[in-house]
Structure 1
Amino acid sequence: MSDPFPEAQFADRTLVVSGGSRGIGLAIALGAARRGANVVLMAKTAEPHPRLPGTVHSAAAEIEEAGGKAVAVVGDVRNEDDVQRAVDTAVAHFGGIDIVVNNASAIATEPTQALSAKKFDLMMDINVRGTFLLTRAALPALLASDVPHVLTVAPPLNMNPHWLGAHPSYTLSKYGMTLLSLGWAEEFRAARDGAGIGFSCLWPQTYIATSAVANLPDGDTLVEASRSPDIMGDAAVAILSRPPGEVNGRTFIDADVLTAVGVTDLSRYGGGDTPMWDIFLDKS
């Protein structure tokens, strides 16, 4: 598949990506790596999982093969010490941090009466706490960067009662990630002598063919109607190539980002003629 952004360059820029061993996180990391980026991947998967392909180490090898430089950090985004170690690793190896990608996320969509407190806590700890911990730890390095961005994989705030009632606890955790991003956009708008940091969110228009989708009961059917993670990687490249102030405080949909820059044929990403619309998005 041809590169839709051959002019985009990430040489000497350093990313820290949470949950980067596979799926969307790895796709975003690879998109930047193909353009020369340094990448620090933080993920828990140190050894192969029977149902999930790839480890943080194999992902780092893919990044190196794609033309970037990579360091793998085995760690849990819920753990403050692990997060600080990932940030310290980026600074030690590459001299700083220019981009944070808050990708690590947990999902549980059971009805409230069937949802365990353990799963509720897991979503809040990974999605909200993890996003907070990684961003907070990286802030000193981001504030020293010339082009700092924080991209969070989270949806636009859609107050349609359907989405509020479909899975309230998961919705709370994902909207919490979005609210943190929007709040930080304002909190740090005047930082760096008014240049700020580019806090933005990115969400897929359709289901994405990740291992999590493939492992669902009807996974084979869902994967056929899902687009490749590459669409999120390409959309992230388009966002992160822009000046921080242009994207600060915004929530983006991958397909909209790409069509806005002239990538009108999205069939390259798969999903068939009618890919399955993702949650939190109204088709109208």
Structure 2
Amino acid sequence: MSSTTHTLAGKSVLVTGGTRGIGRAIALRCARDGASVAVLGRSADSSAVADEISVAGGRGLALTCDMGNDAQVAASVARVAAEFGGIDVLVNNATVLVLKRTSELTMAEYDLMSTTNARGAFAAAKYALPHLRRSANAHILTLCPQPQLEARWFEHNMAYTASKFAMGLMAFGLAAEQRANGIASNALWPYTTIATDGLAECGNAELQARPRTPEIMADAAYCIVTQPAAEFSGNFCLDEVVLREAGVHDFDRYSAVPGTPQGDLSRDHLVSAEQLARLHELQGN
């Protein structure tokens, strides 16, 4: 990855699932450039995030949106484009996390995951595309892992894994489909678990023990969406790899539990062998 060559000053950014956690951190990072940033969330009270965006240096807009409701997604995207004069960056972050085996998962939980994760990301991209085509440096960034046909990724949380891999296939497909329109599409995933409400609610003590903060994903996302769209598309990115390639060396500041040795961090369970090999190369291992 080349060094950042673009700024988000004067740009319009839309972040789904942007009222908390990773989405909120990405929104605030983009706002520091002076961008107009809209966040979509299920919460009816998301005005505080819009205020935070303004304090960070951007122009904030927060909208309540059910990502499984086509009409709401279409209306939200249209409103963002109308109020900001277009859309330059779409961040597909909205995700429902339910870590259960098939026999334990209710169909309501399955439907919520599949409609929010894969279908919601598709709908956001579909309705944003006409606006992205008018941008001078358009990016779609989807927060999902690289799809991998290995049993170990499916044996404990098959439905969740399938929904996130579906997002990865969509991110890769959009890169191919929209290349002629100048729209980049990339995926981003964390090397470690990230301290969010979703992680706190997942019930896995090992994953919850020593995560990193959402800011590492925000910094990596910023590096990606400020790349030249014509030159950086179709990639499955890992947060630490992105930042190391951008020249970052201090990762202690991202530890949610200060003082945690980097080797003791809680690792995410969907990192591909290819991504891990590249990270170890950069780490000098």
Structure-2-length-normalised TM-score:
0.89
Letter in 2 for 1:242: Q
- Are 2:97 and 2:202, in contact at CA under 8 Å, matched by a contact in 1? no
What is residue 197 of structure 1 aligned with on the other side? 183
Letter in 1 for 2:82: A
What is residue 275 of structure 1 aligned with on the other side? 265
1:240 CA displacement: 0.8
1:7 CA displacement: 8.3
Letter in 1 for 2:157: H
- Are 1:36 and 1:67, in contact at CA under 8 Å, matched by a contact in 2? yes
- Are 1:150 and 1:197, in contact at CA under 8 Å, matched by a contact in 2? yes
* Unaligned residue ranges in structure 1 (runs of 5+): 48-55
Q: Residue 243 of structure 2: which of 258, 279, 284 is its match?
A: 258
Q: Distance in 1 between matches of 2:202 and 2:158?
A: 20
- Are 1:33 and 1:69, in contact at CA under 8 Å, matched by a contact in 2? yes
SS of residue paired to 1:190: helix
Q: CA RMSD in A?
A: 1.8
CA 1:113/1:270 → structure 2, altered by over 3 Å: closer, same or farther?
same
Listed as ranges, the matches of 1:118-157 within 5 Å are 118-157=108-147
Listed as ranges, the matches of 1:117-266 within 5 Å are 117-191=107-181, 196-217=182-203, 223-266=208-251
Q: Distance in 2 between matches of 1:149 and 1:6?
A: 14
Deviations 1:246-282 (A, max 9, x none): 2211110000000011101211101421111102125
Q: Distance in 2 between matches of 1:44 and 1:101?
A: 16
- Are 2:98 and 2:202, in contact at CA under 8 Å, matched by a contact in 1? no
1:224 CA displacement: 4.9
1:9 CA displacement: 2.5
What is residue 94 of structure 1 aligned with on the other side? 84
1:223 CA displacement: 4.8
CA 1:190/1:42 → structure 2, altered by over 3 Å: closer, same or farther?
same
What is residue 50 of structure 1 aligned with on the other side? none
What is residue 15 of structure 1 aligned with on the other side? 13
SS of residue paired to 1:58: helix
- Are 1:17 and 1:103, in contact at CA under 8 Å, matched by a contact in 2? yes
Deviations 1:207-235 (A, max 9, x none): 0011122234466x755501010000000
Q: Residue 33 of structure 1: which of 31, 34, 37 is its match?
A: 31
- Are 2:21 and 2:196, in contact at CA under 8 Å, matched by a contact in 1? yes
What is residue 51 of structure 1 aligned with on the other side? none
How many pairs does the alignment contain?
Answer: 267
1:93 CA displacement: 1.1
Q: Distance in 1 between matches of 2:14 and 2:159?
A: 27
- State which drifts further: 164-173 or 102-111: 164-173
What is residue 45 of structure 1 aligned with on the other side? 43
Q: Distance in 1 between matches of 2:95 and 2:175?
A: 21
SS of residue paired to 1:61: helix
1:10 CA displacement: 1.0
1:6 CA displacement: 9.8
Letter in 2 for 1:139: L
Letter in 1 for 2:248: V
1:12 CA displacement: 1.1
Percent identical pairs in the alignment equals 37
Letter in 1 for 2:215: D
What is residue 114 of structure 1 aligned with on the other side? 104
SS of residue paired to 1:109: coil
- Are 1:34 and 1:66, in contact at CA under 8 Å, matched by a contact in 2? yes
What is residue 70 of structure 1 aligned with on the other side? 60
Deviations 1:142-168 (A, max 9, x none): 011111000000001222221132321
- State which drifts further: 232-241 or 271-280: 271-280
